[in-house]
Amino acid sequence: MNLGETNKSNRVVKKTDVKLCTLCGTLNHEANTECFTCGWHGSFSKDAHTLNLAWIRLESLYEEIRSEHVTARRRRSLGDLGAERPASLLARMTAKIASGWERFQTQRDLRMAQRAAGLKSRISSKPDQLGV
């Protein structure tokens, strides 16, 4: 990626592009339908004074406020000298086990649906000895 290119998730956010979660007080991007921190999907505050205080607080943590600071899309954490830190062995193993378990459940549900469909088609409508 060239230095001149800007990634959409790295975009600098303006004060007019944010709103404040009334439940937890987190700055959220205007496009968020729910708070990316607590999941609140009710009303958001647009009070200029409160937004300014939250903006100053977030600005004190970062040089400039980017979309990754006010949305759920976050970059991977950076290690020494700005190089991306690889995911830990435990995180990779957990993700692999979770995806395997999800695949197993999907296949199980598919097999159960096929068996249920097969059983329905096997039901015979032969009359019993009384002809009913």
> pLDDT tens digits, residue range 25-51?
888 888 888 888 888 888 888 888 888
In this structure, the number of other CB atoms found within 10 A of the CB of residue 21 comes to: 23
pLDDT of residue 108: 93
Give me the half-sphere count of Cα atoms (radius 13 Å) on the Cβ side of residue 17.
Answer: 13
Kindly give the parts of the chain with pLDDT less than 70: 1-10, 73-87, 121-132
The rounded distance, in Å, linking the Cα atoms of 53 and 60 is: 11
The answer to whether 65 and 55 are in contact (CB under 8 A) is yes
Residue 83 half-sphere exposure, CB side, CA atoms within 13 Å?
A: 5
Q: What pLDDT is attached to residue 39?
A: 82
